[in-house]
Amino acid sequence: MTPDRESGKELTLRGVALGVALTFIFTAANMYLGLKVGLTIATSIPAAVISMAFLGLFSGSNIRENNIVQTVCSAAGALASVIFILPSLVIVGWWTGFPFWTSFLVCAAGGVLGVLFTIPLRRALVTQSDLPYPEGVAAAEVLKVGADMRAENPEAREGVLAVVYGSIASAGLSIATAMRLATYDVQGVFRVGASTASGYTFAFSLALAGAGHLVGISVGLAMFVGILIAWAGAVPIITAMTPMQGDLTSFVTGIWRNDVRFIGAGAMAVAAVWSLLRTMGPIVGGLKATMRVRGGATNLLDQTDRDLSFRAILAIGLASTALSTWLVWRFCSEAGMTGASLWIALLSIPLVLAGGFFVSAICGYMAGLIGSSNSPISGVGILAVTGTALCLVLLFAGHGAKPLVAIALFITSILFAVACSSNNNLQDLKTGQLVGAAPWRQQVALFAGVAAATVTVPIVLNLLAEAYGFSGAPNLHSIAAQPLAAPQANLMAALAQGVIGGKLNWSMIEIGAGVGAGIVLLDEILRIGGLLRLPPLAVGLGIYLPMEATLPVVVGAIIGWIYNRSVRGGRAERLGVLIASGMIVGESLFGVLNAGLIVAAGKDAPLAVVGDAFPATPVAIVGFAGLIALLYGWLGRRARTAS
């Protein structure tokens, strides 16, 4: 059976309703986790699994209807990442809470524009691209296995076992971690000589290892190069040049967070511009194809390549742009920017439209390269808030610094909502391509997901602000003694204040730009020579992201490469994709469940059964390595049986 031949409705009321219902759960959980530890979970795969279980109880359900459910849910879950910027307005003391309608409309305007910008990008970055889209492929494989089970495909049982085994393994290790029987990561710092130091971190995450299998060896090795640049190069050099303050651990991590991370941001900026230039031809072609459709008159029979009509895109885009412009004008007026409010609002139009399309292309590319969960959307936020603050300080320097900081953060919030939305949309459209879905129906589902998220975000943000508060906020009136760290929001606030106050250190960003240019040149040389590529954005990610989030991906890429070379068969390689997908499914599902338990119990580790003295690190090492050995051992036996 092929997905495009399966009968049944696609965009159904029950499918959209289920997606919206799941939205409130996943979005709230993602917001809490993002504010707590600075990371969010991709919700498309868990939503697909739940959808198959629920809709399977009804007659007539099919793979494309399940795909609509995961599309709605993942669009909303992605928009939860606005928590990386909106709390910065509380942190700088401009807001004391989150005005419902303002927050609602910021998410709506940005989220809708994010969907619209990815429509022409679909052909450039999905249809005509060989980007791996790890989570999109994984979601499609999960949906196909469920569909094959319904059709009684003889190979379906083996595929289901692969997903189930991978899910059980990753969920089991996550449960052990939540119980404090196994540690989540291992980390340390060390001296190299008298004045030089560096460090290491590694997360025992089977989901990240599974993502590594899916992204492939080229991306994995590129990320490893970035890790070496950061931790074997930049950190030792800068620590040798900087007088140590405090303990060694705080010193080394501070150097990475305050200096080296900006080298990664500079490298990603150059790589992002280069990637956009490289894909400009297909992007322009996608725009032209979208304009030719004109109400859907072209290629009506081929539903798998039909987008929303250009007329609908233009009308919705104009309305969203007008809304974002009005929001900026009203915010500036309330900030007391007499005489400048209209000009700043007009300035926001090219910032939101041109900047929004740019970040949509870059976020979509990065999500296709390494997955939405690992895409450094906060890195895009760094560039956006820096660029916006620079424009404001150059054009409106005569006004006070505090209102300019707040306005820069507010405009960036709209841009960030665009980035959040687009970061995930192309992943969903890739899943749809693989299961034979109609893009225009998925685009309608994406709008539904954005609408559901816009209601959820301000409600949950106000709840968390009242219960916990945010680290760095000046006037906390929270219940809990320990505020949420909100690491990205604190960074965005510091950047806006640094640019407008003239205290930002540009040297690291400039160094990173030089590194990025060098990597681009090296990658082009490798391309011309027909050798293994080093995607520049992946190198920048290796510098920018914490090692605990990248090194497991490298390990998974190497393991997947070894496995694929040892089996060399289509069926065996598909099993590898399914088991890697399962590794993502299990940890993602339990991660969302555990987030709910944490919020309900009001403590960090509600499932903990042992104290800090328990030897959790050896258990994690044995569990991580042992489960990978068991999973790939099973894969190897199945591959030999199939051959």
pLDDT one-digit tens code per residue, 20-32: 888 777 777 677 7
Helices (H) and strands (E) counted in the chain, each on its own, are 24, 2
Name the range with the highest mean pLDDT among 148-152, 239-243, 360-364, 583-587: 239-243
Residue 244 lies in a domain: no
Q: pLDDT category, 1, cuts 50, 70, 90?
A: very low
What rounded mean pLDDT belongs to the chain?
81
Supply the pLDDT for residue 618: 94
Tell me if 55 sits within 8 A of 61, measured CB to CB: yes
Supply the pLDDT for residue 565: 86
The overall longest dimension of the chain from CA atoms, in Å, is 76
Please return the burial class of 522, using the count of CB atoms within 10 Å of its CB with bins 0-12, 13-18 and 19+. middle
How much is the CA Rg of the chain, to the nearest whole Å?
24
Supply the pLDDT for residue 318: 93
Residue 466 lies in a domain: yes
Secondary structure string (H, E, C) spanning 361-427:
HHHHHHHHHHCCCCCCHHHHHHHHHHHHHHHHHHHCCCCCHHHHHHHHHHHHHHHHHHHHHHHHHHH
Which domain range does residue 109 map to? 12-129+279-500
- Residue the block writes with tokens 């009242």: 466
User: Amino acid letter at 211?
Assistant: A
| 591 pLDDT above the threshold of 90 | no
Rounded to whole angstroms, how far apart are CA atoms 358 and 363? Answer: 9
Tell me if 488 sits within 8 A of 381, measured CB to CB: yes
Q: Which residues pair with 188 in a beta bridge?
A: 200
For the segment 260-277, the average pLDDT, to the nearest whole number, is 79
Q: pLDDT category, 102, cuts 50, 70, 90?
A: very high
3-class DSSP assignment, residue 200: strand
Name the range with the highest mean pLDDT among 71-80, 158-167, 292-301, 524-533: 524-533
Please return the burial class of 381, using the count of CB atoms within 10 Å of its CB with bins 0-12, 13-18 and 19+. buried
- 282 vs 326, residue with greater confidence: 326
Supply the pLDDT for residue 181: 93
Rounded to whole angstroms, how far apart are CA atoms 597 and 600? Answer: 5
Asked whether the CA dihedral 382, 384, 385, 389 is positive or negative, the reply is: positive
**DSSP strand pairing (196-203 vs 185-192):** antiparallel
| 106 pLDDT above the threshold of 90 | yes
Q: Which residues pair with 192 in a beta bridge?
A: 196
| 270 pLDDT above the threshold of 70 | yes
Helices (H), 56-205: 63-79, 88-91, 100-122, 134-151, 156-178
Residue 320 lies in a domain: yes
Residue 238 lies in a domain: no
- 302 vs 116, residue with greater confidence: 116
Q: Encoding tokens for residue 398?
A: 């005569």
User: Amino acid letter at 145?
Assistant: V
Name the range with the highest mean pLDDT among 105-109, 132-136, 205-209, 399-403: 105-109
Supply the pLDDT for residue 319: 94
Q: pLDDT category, 357, cuts 50, 70, 90?
A: confident
- 316 vs 537, residue with greater confidence: 316
User: Amino acid letter at 242?
Assistant: T
Supply the pLDDT for residue 204: 92
Tell me if 145 sits within 8 A of 578, measured CB to CB: yes
Task: Tell me what percent of the residues of the chain surpass a pLDDT of 70.
Answer: 84
| 327 pLDDT above the threshold of 80 | yes
Q: Encoding tokens for residue 302?
A: 């081929």
| 3 pLDDT above the threshold of 50 | no
- 211 vs 332, residue with greater confidence: 332
For the segment 592-604, the average pLDDT, to the nearest whole number, is 70
Supply the pLDDT for residue 5: 42
> What domain count does the chain have?
1
Q: Encoding tokens for residue 101?
A: 């309608």
For the segment 93-103, the average pLDDT, to the nearest whole number, is 89
Mean pLDDT lowest among 57-66, 294-303, 571-580? 294-303
- CA distances, 248 to each of 184, 202, 239, 244 (Å): 22, 19, 10, 8
Mean pLDDT lowest among 250-259, 260-269, 383-392, 591-600? 591-600
Rounded to whole angstroms, how far apart are CA atoms 137 and 434? Answer: 8
For the segment 49-58, the average pLDDT, to the nearest whole number, is 74
- 250 vs 591, residue with greater confidence: 250
Nearest to 224 by CA among 523, 516, 538, 514: 538
Supply the pLDDT for residue 30: 72
Q: Which tens digits make up the pLDDT trace of 363-388?
A: 777 777 766 655 556 667 777 888 88
In whole angstroms, what separates CA 136 from the centre of its chain? Answer: 12
